[in-house]
Amino acid sequence: MSKILGIDLGTTNSAMAVIESGEPKIIENKEGARTTPSIVAVSKTGDRLVGLLAKRQSVTNPKNTLFSIKRLIGRKFSDMEVKRDKEWLPYDLKEAANSGVEIKLQDKWHRPEEISAMVLQKMKHDAEDKLGQKITEAVITVPAYFDDSQRKATQAAGEIAGLKVRRILNEPTAAALAYGFNKKKDEKIVVYDFGGGTFDLSVLEVTADTIEVKAVGGDTHLGGDDFDQKIIKWIAGEFKKDQGIDLSKDTLALQRLKEAAEKAKHELSTTPETEINLPFITSDESGPKHLVIRFTRAKLEELVGDMIARSVEITRSVVKDSGFALSDIDEVILVGGQTRMPAINEAVKKLFNKEPNKSINPDEVVAIGAAVQAGILQGEVKDVLLLDVTPLSLGIETLGGVMTKIIEKNTTVPTAKTQIFSTAADSQTSVEVHVLQGEREMAHDNKTLARFILDGIPPSPRGMPQVEVTFDIDANGVLSVKAKDKATAKEQSVRIEASTSLSKEEVEKMKKDAELHAEEDRKKREAVDIKNTADTLVYTAEKALRDAGDKVPADVKSDIETKIKELASVKSGDDIAAIKRASQELSNVLQKIGEHLYKQSSGGTGSPSGEKDDNVKEAEFKEKPKEE
């Protein structure tokens, strides 16, 4: 089955996405970019160029480079908007026979939908190349305020490009779909879309199975490009004040300035201050001139503050039009590259008193949503094979009462994981497997699912036996835990039917608890880890002394013995700093054994002391309780 392409046909840039293995994915164009400029041109040599290539020759070919076609599509020539845009658009427009708009490209007059079709066609071809399959159907997004004629014209553009348009989708609705908000009943959503050239605000309401647009508004001539222009103007102004040279006539200098301004704008999203540094920006009789200007976030916000304030004003009034109060709004979604600016994020957050959704790339969220809609139409999102995930982590208790996770939360089931553990004491012949569920670091804070004992382990030094523990969850959420001693192949297992049958509330509570106690748990866990390490160190030191015998001078030996005693006396206490210190001191003196042994064998090829099997995990079982 061929895929349905989701297309965000934008005023300045377009993007596309499809559903792949159930997930929406942006498709790069032939040039390797995730967005394609919505520009069409016929070059002086007569070639038709679309996208980036059209943009690259726009300066010297303004009459035959068409952009912002979305401003004209489906409109009447007599529309106020068209009249206003005609003033500044460099290409020729005229009234068509059906009172629509026609645009001149070279010697031919075209309807706007034919021009948009050229952009769509390129995207279709690029997607076909990337995916290796024919694309015949698409979902195309339009602004929520588009009227019937604009929607029909957009649909026609798709058909001209050879695409069956399965759905014309509202851009804000697409954004809501991308975030999966269609599943949340009775929610009120605001989509704040600050693009390159336009600002759109929409209020949506999710009802039983539809997303309804309650109110729309915006400014068709307010966008990120205006921000860039303000910055460029300010920098050029500062330079003129400083050096007396006007850069606005020098195209290369302006180009460099524009790039630096864009870069600075992005940098100021993460740092409070940046430096614009353009050496050799120009020159006069006295020699080359350099441009170095400190640019702060505060200055940027001062420059564009009125534009942000305007967007906030529009937002306020559109929400009012929708009949809701600002406090009624459940979710706010940020769309458009400009919303990366912290000042905008702050302004929106302050207005609604809640953190806006911005985890999906704001340049791509609409295309992603279009793909989600395509997936619904295609039936791919509605997967027959619904796979569950484990809501909480599963693991066992190990030395010191810590929980060692074996299957992490949100792992898709069915799944199986195996880890190897060992004993904590010499000659330990049995281990207790304490199966736990939860996110807390310490075993006793989590839920006990089962306990069982594996015995018959041949007596051996601690750390030697290898006990393989396997957690297996089947598709129905039934958990089987098996422990097997690798030496004797003896095994024990348990089946837990209800490992995933916790109620949603229980799961949420357990997750919240984990978050709440994260810091305190981390400290406890750290303390246990330090104690465990100290314990191992004492054991290793004693063993090393025994093994080395009289090859170690008496003074070194007694020194080590003292340090062992010191550590042994503090290690079961609660003074973590003391344990750390004593551990450090012991491991320092311990190294002397090695030194002496090496000295004696004068560079012999002995293996380093403290051999360890890498396959054996450090975490160890706690000893079987005595009474068992």
Partner 1 sequence: MPENSQNNNISAVDAKENSEDGNIILAKCEKEKKEYLEGWQRAKADHINYRKDEAKRFEDMARFVTAGLLQDVLPVLDSFELAFRSSPLSSSGFQQNDERGMLLIRSQLLDLLKKRGLEEIKVNAGNTFDPEMHESIGEIESEHASGSIAEEVQKGYYFMGKVLRPARVRLAKSK
Binding site for partner 1 (CB under 8 A): 21, 32, 43-45, 49, 53-54, 56-57, 59-61, 251-252, 255-256, 259-260, 278-280, 283, 285-288, 384-385
Task: Write the CA distances from 481 to 79, 413, 437, integer angstroms.
Answer: 71, 15, 13
Q: Which is nearer to partner 1, 69 or 260 (CB)?
A: 260
Task: Write the CA distances from 433 to 209, 405, 507, integer angstroms.
Answer: 48, 13, 23
Element (H, E) at 165: strand 164-170
Q: Which is nearer to partner 1, 44 or 599 (CB)?
A: 44
Least Cβ distance, residue 58 to partner 1 (angstroms): 8
Q: Which is nearer to partner 1, 292 or 298 (CB)?
A: 292
Q: Which is nearer to partner 1, 287 or 603 (CB)?
A: 287
> Does the annotation mark 171 as catalytic?
yes
Q: Radius of gyration over alpha carbons of the chain, in Å?
A: 34
Q: Which is nearer to partner 1, 287 or 625 (CB)?
A: 287
Least Cβ distance, residue 224 to partner 1 (angstroms): 20
Strand partners, 155: none
Q: Angle at Cα 290 formed by Cα 261 and Cα 196, nearest 5°?
A: 10
> Does the annotation mark 8 as catalytic?
yes
Of the candidates 113, 193, 380, 441, the residue annotated as catalytic is: 193
Least Cβ distance, residue 119 to partner 1 (angstroms): 16
Q: Which is nearer to partner 1, 251 or 572 (CB)?
A: 251
Helical pair 504-516 and 518-548, crossing angle rounded to 10 deg: 70
Helix (H, G, I), strand (E, B) or coil at 45: coil
> Does the annotation mark 193 as catalytic?
yes
CA distance 101 to 123: 24
Least Cβ distance, residue 265 to partner 1 (angstroms): 15
Cα torsion 112, 118, 119, 124: sign: positive
Instruction: Classify each residue of 369-395 as buried b or exposed e, where b means 16 or more C-beta atoms within 10 Å of its C-beta.
Output: bbbbbbbbebebbeeeeeeeebbbbbb
Report how many helices (DSSP H) and strands (DSSP E) the chain contains, helices first. 14, 26
Of the candidates 126, 137, 171, 445, the residue annotated as catalytic is: 171
Least Cβ distance, residue 442 to partner 1 (angstroms): 36
Q: Are 277 and 291 in contact (CB under 8 A)?
A: yes
Least Cβ distance, residue 561 to partner 1 (angstroms): 53
Least Cβ distance, residue 283 to partner 1 (angstroms): 5
Q: Which residues are CB-neighbours of 617 under 8 A, at least 6 positions away?
A: 404, 419, 420, 421, 422
- The per-residue DSSP string of 166-232 comes to EEEEEHHHHHHHHTTGGGSTT-EEEEEEE-SS-EEEEEEEE-SS-EEEEEEEEETT-SHHHHHHHHH
Look at residues 376, 21, 11, 365 and name the one whose alpha carbon lies nearest to residue 166.
Answer: 376
Look at residues 156, 157, 192, 152 and name the one whose alpha carbon lies nearest to residue 171.
Answer: 192
Least Cβ distance, residue 19 to partner 1 (angstroms): 13
Q: Which is nearer to partner 1, 106 or 345 (CB)?
A: 106
Look at residues 305, 344, 332 and name the one whose alpha carbon lies nearest to residue 194.
Answer: 344
Of the candidates 70, 405, 557, 571, the residue annotated as catalytic is: 70
List phi, psi (to 5°) of 457.
-80, 125
Q: Which is nearer to partner 1, 22 or 610 (CB)?
A: 22
The single residue listed with the structure tokens 């498709």 is 27
Catalytic site positions: 8, 70, 171, 193
